[in-house]
Amino acid sequence: MDYAPEPYADDNIFAKILREEIPAFRVYEDAETLVFMDIMPRVDGHMLVIPKTPCRNMLDASADQLAACLKTVQKVSLALLGAPYGADGISLQQFNEPAGGQEVYHLHFHILPRRDGDALRPPRQQGDMEAIAAEAERIRAAIAAAA
């Protein structure tokens, strides 16, 4: 195997969110993972799932880190389908290394709640913080209702 990733750098934005050095709209966490809102949402309700332990991306992640993240992806996704949140489907995105579209070097999965017939917004556009906060509240309520 030739892949030799850059070492994990703990000054990345998501590591700072984990250490609570910068704010985030947190919607769910368990012992191994954290879910928070993406501040440049491609759709309403765009979230990121990250492991609490360090790894750069899917390529250097352990099986346990991947399993923990996907377990959380599934749990949160199921809570959003149908009432009360009302998603019709879920898109899952995950990018690795610059050529793969990765911009933040702490493993993360994008959960995009989809509505029938919707379209993705362009990437890298700052979202409206009040709208994201309101969406986070709706998602927290849906997760609590599904528990």
Residues that bind ligand AMP (CB under 6 A): 13, 24, 38-40, 48, 95, 101-104, 108
User: Which is the catalytic residue, given 46, 106, 108, 110?
Assistant: 108
Query: C-beta of 83: minimal distance to ligand AMP in Å?
Result: 27
Is 47 buried (19+), middle (13-18) or exposed (0-12) by CB count in 10 A?
buried
Query: Please, are residues 90 and 54 in contact by the beta-carbon 8 Å criterion?
Result: no
Q: Least Å distance between CB 76 and ligand AMP?
A: 15
Sign of the CA dihedral running 118, 124, 126, 130: positive
Nearer to ligand AMP, 14 or 85 (CB): 14
Order of strands across the sheet that contains 109-114: 26-29, 33-37, 47-51, 109-114, 89-93
| Distance (Å, whole) CA 71 – CA 20 | 23
Closer to ligand AMP by Cβ: residue 39 or 90? 39
> Is 110 annotated in the active site?
no
**Minimum distance from CB of 121 to ligand AMP (Å)?**
11
- Which two three-digit tokens encode residue 77? 């996704």
The nearer residue to ligand AMP, 104 or 141, going by C-beta atoms, is: 104
* Residues marked as catalytic: 108
